[in-house]
Amino acid sequence: MNFDAIIVGGGIIGCAHAFYLTQKGLKVALVEAASLGSGTSARNFSWANASTKLSDAAYHRLNALGVRLYGELATQFGAKTLGINPAGALEFARKSRPADYAAKQKKTARLVDLGYLCHWLDRNALRILEPSIALAKDAEAFITPDEKIVNTARFIGFLADQIKQRGGQIFENCSAREILADADGAVIGLATDLGEMAAKRLVIAAGPNTPEVLASLTGFDGFHRFPVNKLPGLLLTTPPLAPDLIHHLIHSDGETEVHFLPDFNGGLRIASDEVDGLITNDQSPDNLRKQGIELLRRAKTLLPDALDTVLIDDCKLAIGVRAYPQDGKSIAGPLPGSEGMYVIATHSGVTLAPAVGSLMAELVADGTVPEMLRPFLLDRLEGFG
């Protein structure tokens, strides 16, 4: 089996990258150890956003490109086909919490400076936009209307259909086993559960298992120290609730930091960065239940009536594991010292899949590094320079 490029990992990142490579006319093989989208891409908060990515302008722009490309794909193929809810996000603030209020206003100004669509809203506007939310007397918010909620299973299904329509081949339940190289060490293919595949370009998009996959495929144990950590997070999904209960993704980091969104099952999906911190070292069933109750309690402060009768036992709890690069930013580019090998490993992969997938397609297909990708190459990290 001969291909122009092989991608290892059929999560949202590997699928998006394969999609853009096939759009460039490359003959692609996508190799997935289990089923497409069954890794971290099946257990996340699904928020395509750049409003929470402000520590670094280049990283913000990369995420903003992801948000914009979802919009363009939705125009081209239809939001429903892609599984995109173009809801926009609301982030609350209160004047009675002056430090937080000032920080939110500063954040809004920064987003506007960066050219990101964002408006400040008063309480009256919020009452109209979200009548079910129990607003504090001094509640205000900023809205980022271009942000999306992505049904990742549906989006991955769409990408897979497109890959196949353009001649790509997808191999599920097929683990990558070993990289095949010529006498000079250049990649010539991949040994897999289903036999050998030939290609001169190999892209590893294995999510949180990137270090282990690199080590096992190359036989070099040093890759166990590849600078990507695993960071778990807890997600709670309620059973279906009243239709149209909320219309936006809600983000509140006041006294009770919580975010929730209308899930595609008709309920709410709830998460909290603070609660994630409480499961990092203890993922026992007792602690997950306890933290699930905490998520419900936090969401109830904003939706007391709707969540009043919802019990933890009626909800679904799931843990997802983020691939978290050492400096918090994406890794995407050639593997230094190799010929023909590339790596993509990132958190915020739902947002970034179209951006990183398409920029990496330019690199892998054309051999040139797009400017936007330069800050995310591996050579910025210790040991790879």
Ligand X SMILES: Cc1cc2nc3c(=O)[nH]c(=O)nc-3n(C[C@H](O)[C@H](O)[C@H](O)COP(=O)(O)OP(=O)(O)OC[C@H]3O[C@@H](n4cnc5c(N)ncnc54)[C@H](O)[C@@H]3O)c2cc1C
In this chain, which stretch among 67-75, 300-308, 314-322, 369-377 interacts with ligand X, using CB under 6 A? 314-322
- Single out the residue of 84, 170, 213, 360 in contact with ligand X (rule: CB under 6 A): 213
Determine how many CB atoms are found less than 10 A away from the CB of residue 333. Answer: 22
Task: Tell me the C-alpha distance between 129 and 144, whole Å.
Answer: 13
Nearest approach in angstroms of CB 336 to ligand X is: 20
Task: Tell me the C-alpha distance between 283 and 263, whole Å.
Answer: 24
Nearest approach in angstroms of CB 95 to ligand X is: 28
First to last CA, the chain: 35
Q: Which residue carries 């009243």 as its tokens?
A: 242
Across the beta sheet with 195-198, the strand order is: 176-181, 187-192, 195-198
Q: Which is nearer to ligand X, 175 or 338 (by Cβ)?
A: 175
Query: In the window 215-254, what residues touch ligand X (CB under 6 A)?
Result: 233, 235
- Single out the residue of 28, 69, 205, 310 in contact with ligand X (rule: CB under 6 A): 205
- Single out the residue of 4, 6, 7, 10 in contact with ligand X (rule: CB under 6 A): 10
Overall size of the chain counted in residues: 385
In this chain, which stretch among 29-37, 104-112, 220-228, 335-343 interacts with ligand X, using CB under 6 A? 29-37
Task: Tell me the C-alpha distance between 158 and 71, whole Å.
Answer: 15
Each residue 325-354 as x (binds ligand X by CB under 6 A) or -, in order, gives: ---------------------xxxxxx---
Task: Tell me the C-alpha distance between 124 and 50, whole Å.
Answer: 26
Task: Tell me the C-alpha distance between 127 and 135, whole Å.
Answer: 8
Q: Which is nearer to ligand X, 18 or 136 (by Cβ)?
A: 18
- Single out the residue of 3, 19, 20, 45 in contact with ligand X (rule: CB under 6 A): 45
Helices (H), 210-284: 210-218, 273-277
In this chain, which stretch among 28-36, 99-107, 117-125, 335-343 interacts with ligand X, using CB under 6 A? 28-36
**What's the gap between Cα 376 and its chain centre?**
16
Nearest approach in angstroms of CB 266 to ligand X is: 19
Each residue 160-179 as x (binds ligand X by CB under 6 A) or -, in order, gives: ---------------xx---
Q: How many helices (H) and strands (E) does the chain have?
A: 11, 20
Give the binding site for ligand X (CB under 6 A).
8-14, 31-34, 38-41, 43-47, 175-176, 205-209, 213, 233, 235, 320-323, 346-351
